[in-house]
Amino acid sequence: MLTATVYSEAGGVGKTSLTANLGRALSDAGHEVLLIDLDPQDASLSYLLDVDDERDNPEANNLVRYLVGRSEGSLEPIIREAEGMDIIPSHNMLEQISKHLQRRANEAADFGESFNVNKQLLRVLREAGVQDKYDVILIDPAATADTKVYNAIHATRSLIIPFEPTGKGSQSVSGLEDLVLGLEEQLSIDVGVMGIVPNKYKDTRDQQQIITEVQDGPYAVPVVFRERSSLIEGCWNKQCTAFKYIPEHRKRERDYERDTLEKFETLAEWCASEVGLEVMEA
Ligand SMILES: Nc1ncnc2c1ncn2[C@@H]1O[C@H](COP(=O)(O)OP(=O)(O)O)[C@@H](O)[C@H]1O
Ligand SMILES: [Mg+2]
């Protein structure tokens, strides 16, 4: 099974765009894909894939109810579908999840029980039997390192890290290592890095240098995504992945955009082969 959290400490590096398109490429390759949106903010994966209509309905069943133990078992009641993938959408209640989980932890402590606030997503996914239904689980949390991110990492044990090779966005190789070590220390578990994914790359001398430094570092860099504002903004505008956007909303195919799709496919193959997922013929 391929399980990964798409994470970076920086906001706006392309986590959500990457999660949706990588998920779609894996789905097109014949894998059963589940995406989980853990970002309570509006412009999240649920919005991009147009499944966020219940996010502000306080009565709607949603992942938070499962995490705090109010809903149990199968996740079918909250799973939505888009472009052949299953998605657990975000909900505004996620903003308060740390508070809700801490309350459950205090309650458990009063009764001499153990309750790890960071392992509840892992528990929910196990209890729902997702390992029997899916080949791939990708989680998209917000950039803030908090309970949501920790739950995602406990559930996946592995990271895909989008990385913007600009002066400001660049955290250098040592910054990436610090990120991973920090998470491992915080959670007392090993966290694997499936790959660093440079995004919005412009072929300047400075950026070339940053990319070379990352490629020479300890983590794999399977592909580099170039700056493709028109395509990615178009996806956000039409609420779909690039795999749907190009055939449905472009009058003609542009070679450099086909190239971007191929990179998502290459990354999908890389991730699948890393965990030994059998690649099926489409
Ligand atoms: N390869 C790219 N080229 C140009 N713009 C991009 C690219 N990838 C993402 N973006 C843009 O960057 C912004 C942030 O993307 P998003 O996927 O929401 O990142 P995050 O989830 O990390 O905040 C969006 O406006 C998106 O259109
Ligand atoms: Mg996002």
- Per-position pLDDT tens, the chain of length 282: 999 999 999 899 999 999 999 999 999 999 999 999 999 999 899 999 999 999 999 999 999 999 999 999 999 999 999 999 999 999 999 999 999 999 999 999 999 999 999 999 999 999 999 999 999 999 999 999 999 999 999 999 999 999 999 866 556 778 899 999 999 999 999 999 999 999 999 999 999 999 999 999 999 999 999 999 999 999 999 999 999 999 999 999 899 999 999 999 999 999 999 999 986 654
CA distance 39 to 37: 6
Tell me, yes or no, whether 35 lies in a domain.
Answer: yes
From 19, 207, 229, the mutation candidate for ligand 1 (largest count of ligand atoms within 8 A of CB) is: 229
Q: How far is CA 153 from CA 96, 123, 157, 232, in A?
A: 19, 13, 5, 26
Q: Which pLDDT score, from 0 to 100, does residue 174 have?
A: 83
* Closest protein CA for atom 15 of ligand 1: 14
* Closest protein CA for atom 23 of ligand 1: 12
Q: Which pLDDT score, from 0 to 100, does residue 279 have?
A: 65
From 148, 232, 237, the mutation candidate for ligand 1 (largest count of ligand atoms within 8 A of CB) is: 232
CA distance 76 to 116: 25
Atom of ligand 1 nearest to the CA of 17: 17
Tell me, yes or no, whether 68 lies in a domain.
Answer: yes
Tell me, yes or no, whether 253 lies in a domain.
Answer: yes
Atom of ligand 1 nearest to the CA of 232: 27
Q: Which pLDDT score, from 0 to 100, does residue 182 have?
A: 95
Expressed as residue numbers, the domain containing 20 is 2-274
Indicate which CATH number applies to the domain containing 129: 3.40.50.300
Tell me, yes or no, whether 280 lies in a domain.
Answer: no
Contact present, 175 and 193 (Cβ < 8 Å): no
Phi, psi for 195 (deg, rounded to 5): 180, 155
Tell me, yes or no, whether 91 lies in a domain.
Answer: yes
Handedness of CA 204, 208, 209, 211 (dihedral sign): positive
| 168, two tokens | 């400001």
Phi-psi region of 73 (alpha: psi -120 to 50; beta: other; left: phi over 0): left
CA distance 79 to 199: 29
Tell me, yes or no, whether 282 lies in a domain.
Answer: no
Tell me, yes or no, whether 265 lies in a domain.
Answer: yes
CA of 161 to the centre of ligand 1 (A): 14
Tell me, yes or no, whether 41 lies in a domain.
Answer: yes
CA distance 271 to 277: 9
114 lines ligand 1 (CB under 6 A): no
* Closest protein CA for atom 25 of ligand 1: 233
pTM beyond 0.85 = yes
CA of 15 to the centre of ligand 2 (A): 5
The number of distinct structural domains making up the chain is 1
| 156, two tokens | 């996946």
